[in-house]
A = this chain, B = another copy of it.
Amino acid sequence: MSLVLRSYWRSSCSWRVRIGLNWKQLSYDVVPVHLVADGGHQHTDEHRALNPMRELPVLLVEGQPLAQSVAILEYLEETHPEPPLLPKSSLDRARVRQMTEVVNSGIQPIQNLRVMQRLGREYELPRTDQVRWSRDWIAQGLSALEKLVSEHGGRYSFGDAVSFADLCLVPQLYNARRFDVDMTAFPVLTAVEAELASLPAFVAAHPDQQPDAV
């Protein structure tokens, strides 16, 4: 199966999919798409034809473009079920998906680059206010996730097996540090992160390991 991932080194949603592809031991080519240079290469005609939302990542499967990181991860799980990234029971799977969506829809969309850019461009908020905006949304969402992982986690976010929730957690904590979120409030999440950090699929997916890293 030919797989091409359009990715940016620091895009947290691209990072989730990189971990997923690595976890499934799938080989893929990376096409870097720079989110900042020239106003953002996600706005080019070439990229918009692949994803009208003008976002990353896009996974090309035999040339067919798929976007939205969670949709891509579900696709990888269905087509390559081993090693798994979801538990077996439906209720457990629902809990993992709940944690996944806390990050995917509850935190990241409100703190991402396009939102901050619009706060500055159209509403003239200074950079310090933009950063505070993102910091506070991240802190609020991670507080909820800390509680969920305290209840349902073990070595990892859900029990002792790596899941979608971990693929979302690691990039979100990286973003949290970029915005100076007080990480001492999240001892459970940072303990899980420490367990994940040395796993090969996570090591290879880190932004600093990407071909477009600065």
Contacts and interface: CB of A to CB of B under 8 A. Distances in A.
Contacts of A133: 123
A53 interface: yes
Given A71-B97, A123-B125, A78 B90 contact: yes
A176 interface: no
A94 interface: yes
A79 interface: yes
Contacts of A66: 91, 94-95, 98
Contacts of A115: 110
Interface string A97-108: 110111011101
24 contacts: A51-B144, A52-B145, A66-B91, A66-B95, A68-B101, A68-B102, A68-B105, A70-B97, A71-B94, A71-B98, A71-B101, A72-B94, A75-B91, A75-B94, A78-B90, A79-B90, A101-B104, A101-B105, A106-B109, A110-B110, A123-B123, A123-B125, A123-B129, A123-B133
